Amino acid sequence: MAKGLDVGTMNILSAQQDGNDTVFVQQRNSFVEIGYSDMAEQMLARSEVLHIRKDDKVYVVGDDALNFANIFNKETRRPMKHGILSNDEQSAIPMMKLIIQQVVGEPDRPGEKVYFSTPADPIDSELSTLYHQKTIESFLDDMGYDAEPINEGMSVIYSELADNNFTGLGISFGAGMTNVCLAYYAVPVMKFSVARGGDWVDEQAARATGTPVDKVTSIKEDDFELDFTTDVGGVEGALSIYYENLLDYVIENIVGEVDEEDIEEGLDVPVVVTGGTSSPRGFEKLFRDHLREASIPFSISGVSHASEPLYSVARGGLVAARSDEDVDLDESEPEPEAKAEPAPPSE
């Protein structure tokens, strides 16, 4: 067995193979603090709500955190910010450990392969992703896995471009960052990230409309559509404006980062977009229209949107982990013993 793990700012997801099916496990990467009482803790345990008690406080973690935040009129807190562990959140590491343990589970055997997503260093920020990468790797190794990082954009290519020999441009629109990778035959020739994603859209829309960020996030996740028919004075109108700005920003950086020498002459490059931030209806068309208007220094064969954008990165990690595990199995098999050729028949 092998597993893929998408360590996202908004969600953490795992993927593993079960026969012909791929099974995903997901938890929201957030938590909310509530006051402790014996009855409250008993009710949480009875309802199987993921939580941690610390001194006189209880932290509700994962998918239930947003529900509790809305009930108690509180803001959720995040272990990650801008695609990496948050240095502003003292509880980041214990919360991340708990969520990852719940999502990935125990290894089926010691040393089971797991490929976990990690962002590229952003080109528009001084943030370093190394500490984040090594910390997540340590979590998984301590659980008994053989953990390997995989670039998030490359994971998209593994997931979505197998039919194109793992060649193309993969773009993952996450909550904390947007990751971009150009690869030929599974070899990355360009990869970078920008420190803008769905969280940036939500924060800007919240600031513009005077709406709490969690409320904006809930509106975005509840059947929001990028159709530009909504009154610009409301939250959905503000979301549309900042979504469009995000796409222009990402495309502008692609144009600035791509070296024409990286592009094989005469090759048409397929582009695939994915990630939770790309989920609203109308995203693919809006991205395609803006890409068409840009001065991209290579020919594009087409733009596609992953059928399950939330699961692409975890699935790509699974593809890489299974491939790596197959190679290890092949190398561990003993060479067949040489057999003597039969003697020619005597005359």
CA contacts within 13 A on the Cβ side of 124: 16
- Co-location of 53 and 193 in the same domain: no
Instruction: Over range 66-84, report the average pLDDT.
Output: 86
- Co-location of 252 and 113 in the same domain: yes
Would you state the pLDDT for residue 342? 43
- Co-location of 178 and 251 in the same domain: yes
Instruction: Over range 129-156, report the average pLDDT.
Output: 97
Which of 43, 77, 111 is the endpoint of a domain? 77
Q: Is residue 326 part of a domain?
A: no
Q: Is residue 345 part of a domain?
A: no
Instruction: Over range 337-346, report the average pLDDT.
Output: 45
- Co-location of 197 and 165 in the same domain: yes
Would you state the pLDDT for residue 330? 55
Q: Is residue 335 part of a domain?
A: no
How far apart CA 26 and CA 3 sit, in angstroms, is 13
- Co-location of 65 and 131 in the same domain: no
Q: Is residue 337 part of a domain?
A: no
Q: Is 62 helix (H, G, I), strand (E, B) or coil?
A: coil
Mean pLDDT score of the chain: 89
Q: Is residue 49 part of a domain?
A: yes
pLDDT at 130 over 90: yes
**Greatest extent of the chain over all pairs of C-alpha atoms, in Å:** 100
CATH number at residue 155: 3.30.420.40
Cβ burial of 266 (10 Å; 0-12, 13-18, 19+) is exposed
pLDDT digits (tens, 9 = 90+) for 170-212: 999 999 999 999 999 999 999 999 999 999 999 999 999 999 8
- Co-location of 193 and 287 in the same domain: yes
Q: Containing domain of residue 83, as a range?
A: 3-29+78-321
- Co-location of 49 and 120 in the same domain: no
How far apart CA 286 and CA 156 sit, in angstroms, is 20
> pLDDT band at 144, cuts 50/70/90?
very high
pLDDT at 339 over 60: no
Sheet with 178-184, side-by-side order of all strands: 187-194, 178-184, 168-173, 269-274, 300-305
Using an 8 Å Cβ cutoff, are 228 and 260 in contact?
no
> pLDDT band at 29, cuts 50/70/90?
very high
115 contact partners, CB below 8 Å, separation of at least 6: 2, 3, 4, 5, 147, 148, 149, 150, 155, 317, 318, 320, 321, 324
How far apart CA 127 and CA 81 sit, in angstroms, is 11
Range from 40-49, 122-131, 239-248 carrying the lowest mean pLDDT: 40-49
pLDDT at 24 over 90: yes
Would you state the pLDDT for residue 327? 65
Number of domains in the chain: 2
Would you state the pLDDT for residue 42? 81
C-alpha angle with apex 191: 189 to 195, nearest 5 degrees?
170
Instruction: List the structure tokens of 286.
Output: 């809006």
Helix axes 213-221, 63-71, angle to 10 degrees: 120
Would you state the pLDDT for residue 345? 46
Q: Is residue 132 part of a domain?
A: yes
Would you state the pLDDT for residue 335? 55
Q: Is residue 257 part of a domain?
A: yes
Q: Is residue 188 part of a domain?
A: yes
262 contact partners, CB below 8 Å, separation of at least 6: 182, 189, 190
